[in-house]
Every structure is written in C-alpha cells, then in structure tokens.
Structure 1
C-alpha cells in the first residue's frame, strides 16, 4: 500500500562533462489545446515511465555539466505498490501483502541503498549547497508562483537542472508548473470530498459492522490501516494479512468499494470540469513531449 514516501534525489561532485542538449519544445497555444483535446487520453503507465526517464536523463546531463553526479532510478521501484485511498478492495492483493508491510520494507531498502543519498551525504556542507543550487536553482534566481486550487500560493525557482530539463521536455516552464500544480492537487481534493459525502459515511458504517462480525472492531478503514501500517508496528504478518483480507471482503459485501468508486468518479469529473483548461493543457504538453522523450531515452 502506498504510504506516499518518496526519497529525495540528490547529486554532486566529479568532472565536468558535455551536456546533451535538445531543442526546446514549442509553447502550446490555447487554440491548440481546444483543438486537440478530443484526441487526448490519460497517459499509460509506460508513457509516464518514459517521460520520467527522459526528464531524469536531461537532469543528469545538466548536473554532470556542472560537475555533479546523479544516478537514475525507475519511477516505480516497487511495481506491486498500490494506492487504496478509501479502502482495500482487492482480496488477492491483500492476501499477498496485507497492509503493505513487505512493500514498505522494500521501499526502505531502496531508500537506504540510494547512491544519490550516499553521495550527497558525503559532500561537504558548501559542496552540498552548490549541488542543491545546481539542481533546483539558486535563491537569487527568478521565481514562478501559482495559486493552487486550495488557495495557497505555490512557488518554485525557474533556474536549475530540474527546471532546465522540464523546459527542454515540455516547453513553457511557467505553463507546465501551473498546470501540474493545479492538476496534481485535484486527486487529494476529490478524495476528501468523497470521504465527507453522506453516502460514503453510510457505507462505512455497514463496512464496520461487517468487520465486527469477523472479530475486528474498527470504525473505518483508516483506523484499521493505522493499526497495522504505522511505523514500528510489530503485528505478525499473518495477522496483518487476515485483517486486510477481511477489509477487502467487507468492502465488497458492504458496498463501500462500489460507493467509493462511484463517488470518486463523480467528484473527479466535477473537478476536471472546473479545471478543464489546466487538465487539457497538461495532457497536450505530455503527449507532445512523448516523441521527444523517446528520442532522449533511445539516445542514452
């Protein structure tokens, strides 16, 4: 089960190498966005991996040109990881992984063996700051700011190797940052709306009754998950699997899984409609970047 923990990719030190450079993508016009939306679709996992790899390759090339090192890891280092935002609804997955303790252990192992982390930790404080400036841009550089759907102002520096890689891959960095900031937040907003819905609350009560009948007294899936998936939990793996399988079975029999899917589709559709221009622009930028990404990955 995804706990949304991500290790920071840091880099540095070494000889200056030639930078691999690609012509920057062209900015996307509003007319192009509206003309192309009917032919667009969500990216496949393979396409997401391709864009990830291309961006990391561009970032690494940039860092090497500034005298730093970088190692590239796959977007999904633990492919069996799953995201269950409302309730575990896959009995087969639950019977193998319980509440994901084995996956978390592998994720921790990947994090501990990350050569980027070891490399960064071995730098002097001054050299480490230079690496951060190279990667994310110096504080003296310009900033891009966006108002997020939750009303917060989110900003980033428009310099550094990450910014350069995204600019080369997607074109207009300001537009890319705006549409990704907005659309990346929609999933979390929609999930909170689902959980607050009365229909979800009623289905959760039925789920809780089902769990009690199996000898597991939990008010909601979050409480059950917290009992087994928190750091330092010492519950035996078979106990975690038993509870997770019960959760998934009750999710089906109580109707909670079906209710959650229906409400998720409902609120996701509303949010995508409310932010349709940002969603359209992001999809178009991503699809236009795929061909470039393939060229970048094939050239490595």
Structure 2
C-alpha cells in the first residue's frame, strides 16, 4: 500500500529520508575547499556538493524565507546554531581524525541541536500569535491548509506530498526553478540508497575493509565488529547524566572515535566504501542515474545562486 506523507516546508532542504538512509555507508567527500569529491561516479557526470556547499544553500533558503516573511509582516529567525565544521554530516565511515579529536562522534553537537530545537524562536513566535494571525502566518510560510500540495513517487513505490506555497515555495523557486521538478528530483535522489544498500553491505571488498578495520580496532583495545557497533557503544549510558558523568562519557566517546578514524584511514575504509558505493549506484536503472545527475546539476545551480544571497557559514 502506498504511504503518503505531508511534509511542511521549512528552511531545511526537503528530503524524504527513509530508515535505510541512517546506514550512510561512506564518509562524506573531502571538504577541502576544492569542491571535488574523493571518488567520482562512473555514469553520473555532475559532482555532489561538499557539506559546506550544501549548508550554504540551506542558509540561503532561510535568508530568502526571512526576507519574504518580513514582507508579509512576520518575523522569521534563521538557524545558525552550528558552525560549518559542526554541521559536517557523520557517515558510517568516520575517517576525519581532526574532527574526531574535537567532536568525538558528535554527541555534544546533537545536544546543542536539541537545545536549539527546544527553544526554537519561530515555534514560540507562531504559538504566541492570535488565531487569525496564526492562519495568516501559515499561509505566508507555505500556503497554509488550502495550498495544493506537490506529489511525487519514491523509488520504492510510495507516494509523498508536501506544501510548496508561500515563502517556502518562493525560496525554492528562486534557488531551483520549478518547485515540482525540484521535489521530484530531490525525492528520488534522496531515496536511492535502499535500492543498493543490501548488495553494498555484502560486497567482498567492502566487507574485507570492515574486517581489517575491526582487527585494527581490536589491537587498539576497542574490539568492535564494525563502525556502527563502535559508535553505538558510546551511546550506551543513561540519557540523564551529571556533569561529571557526561565528561567521562565524552572522553570515552572521543577515544573510541579517534581510534575509529585512525583505523579507517589506515585500511582505506573511506575510499573503498566510496568506490564500492559508486559502483552499485551507477548500476541502478539508467533512469535513476539520469535523475541523480539532474538533481546534482540543479544543486550546483542552486549553489551559484546561493552565493549571491548569503556568505558561507563560519
């Protein structure tokens, strides 16, 4: 049975994220300012954005929404909770040693995000509006309840929908052009991993690299079968901790994360994972690879536009 989800537009990039996406199998492309991924794909010609570039588009979208909402008589706060470095995505393979030394696996970053969500000024602002102004706010933000939603299908056969009116839709149109085209490309590109993740997990070269990583970790005093197990071990503590307990947990997390990154680099787990992921990704049906290419091209276009809207986050 098809599953329909209605996603409210916010400042964040629209992406329909399925459960399997949590198993991001490869670390991100090196974000060294060159804008060049470590391993190019074989059939998709446009490059993927670096995390810093991706963040700049998100920030530009927020800036556009803020300006638009102001024109409608409402306030809107842009989210700059994290620095560019803190915003770096954490993949299954974590081979950024410098990042691990400072952030471990990012538990304090997640806590920082949680605090920001708890005290989101946009939510508090909307809640304080009288009913009539609240309805006007919703209409200004994304078209409100009467807006005709965009609909598209996921590669897995489900149906998703979202509102794309108001300031959110206008921001997307400024960055990407036709909102319906962008929604279709984004939905497909964001849901390709489940189509090949099973084969990647069983790939001989990839599993051999994970085994080599595990042996390296065991020699370092951290006997874990794979990176996910190592990461999960650092989360096995009470949700509520005293300051001293949190400091000890964080120190242990950082030690394991540094060993993880060191071993990943020593056995080339990141490059091997990226190469094998590209291998399976580019053996998907041609229509999906073409969609991914179009998605990346559109993201590059959005980046060029974003560069004229907001500076890169520090």
TM-based fold match above 0.5: yes
Query: Relative to 1, partners in 2 of residues 1:244 and 1:268: Cα closer, same or farther, differing over 3 Å?
Result: same
| Structure with the larger helix share | 1
User: How far 1:263 moved relative to its partner?
Assistant: 1.3
Matches within 5 A, 1:1-300: 41-43=47-49, 48-74=54-80, 77-123=83-129, 127-128=133-134, 130-186=136-192, 193-229=199-235, 232=239, 234=246, 235-271=248-284, 274-289=287-302, 292-293=305-306, 296-297=309-310
Cα distance between partner residues in 2 of 1:200 and 1:75: 35
Structure 1 runs of 4+ aligned residues shifted over 6 Å read none
The farther-off stretch of 248-257 and 88-97 is: 248-257
Q: Partner of 1:140: helix, strand, or coil?
A: coil
Unaligned 5+ segments in structure 1 are: 1-7, 11-36
Unaligned 5+ segments in structure 2 are: 1-9, 13-43
After TM superposition, the score normalised by the length of structure 2 is 0.68
Q: Partner of 1:185: helix, strand, or coil?
A: coil
Cα distance between partner residues in 2 of 1:281 and 1:178: 11
Query: Relative to 1, partners in 2 of residues 1:254 and 1:280: Cα closer, same or farther, differing over 3 Å?
Result: closer
Query: Relative to 1, partners in 2 of residues 1:64 and 1:84: Cα closer, same or farther, differing over 3 Å?
Result: closer
Query: Relative to 1, partners in 2 of residues 1:94 and 1:54: Cα closer, same or farther, differing over 3 Å?
Result: closer
User: How far 1:138 moved relative to its partner?
Assistant: 2.6
Query: Relative to 1, partners in 2 of residues 1:126 and 1:294: Cα closer, same or farther, differing over 3 Å?
Result: same
Aligned length: 264
Contact map agreement 2:11 2:65 (CA 8 A) in 1: no
After TM superposition, the score normalised by the length of structure 1 is 0.70
Cα distance between partner residues in 1 of 2:90 and 2:290: 28
Cα-to-partner distance string for 1:203-229 (whole Å, 9 max, x where unaligned): 323333332333323222112111214
